[in-house]
Amino acid sequence: MVEEVLEDFGYEKERFMIAWCSAAEPDKFVEAVTKMTKRVKSLGPHRHSLAAA
């Protein structure tokens, strides 16, 4: 559902991710942030962003 709403606003579904991590799982949190950062960097700027202009 969230992915559909994001696409309605012009965002690729790949720019969204949910990762469940508890405070006792810092390695899991770091892994999720690193994975998402790499994914967004590979997608490049959003087509409506100021950086893409």
Look at residue 33 in the predicted model and tell me its pLDDT.
96
pLDDT in tens, 11-38: 888 889 999 999 999 999 999 999 999 9
Q: Is the pLDDT of residue 53 over 80?
A: no
d(CA 41, CA 51): 13
Q: Is the pLDDT of residue 52 over 80?
A: no
Q: Is the pLDDT of residue 47 over 80?
A: no
Q: What is the pTM of this model?
A: 0.69
Ramachandran assignment for 13, one of left (phi > 0), alpha (psi -120 to 50 degrees), beta (any other): alpha
